[in-house]
């Protein structure tokens, strides 16, 4: 017969296990949200820079054309 473990030990191990799962889940979700936010910010910044660069090229071309 295997030795019996106390209910206190079992509850402690279950609690620690659940806390670890919650921490890992929270960490993964936080990283994903941070990455998505960063990608969105970079995309928006690149769109703005592209429009600004296009306007600059267009103005320079119009000056040369005159």
Percent of the chain with pLDDT over 70: 97
**DSSP 3-state of 8:** helix
- All structural domains of the chain with their residue ranges: 38-66
The pLDDT score that the predictor gives to residue 64 is 85
Rounded to whole angstroms, how far apart are CA atoms 33 and 39? 10
**What is the band of 1 on the pLDDT scale with cuts at 50, 70, 90?**
low
Mean pLDDT across the stretch 13-28? 98
Mean pLDDT across the stretch 10-20? 97
Torsion of CA 50, 55, 59, 65, to 10 degrees: 70
């Amino acid at each position: 017969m295997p030795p019996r473990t106390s209910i206190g030990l079992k509850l402690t191990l279950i609690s620690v296990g659940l806390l670890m799962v919650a921490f890992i889940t929270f960490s993964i979700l936080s990283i994903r949200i941070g990455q998505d936010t960063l990608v969105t910010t970079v995309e928006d910044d690149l769109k703005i820079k592209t429009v600004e660069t296009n306007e600059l090229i267009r103005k320079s071309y119009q000056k040369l054309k005159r």
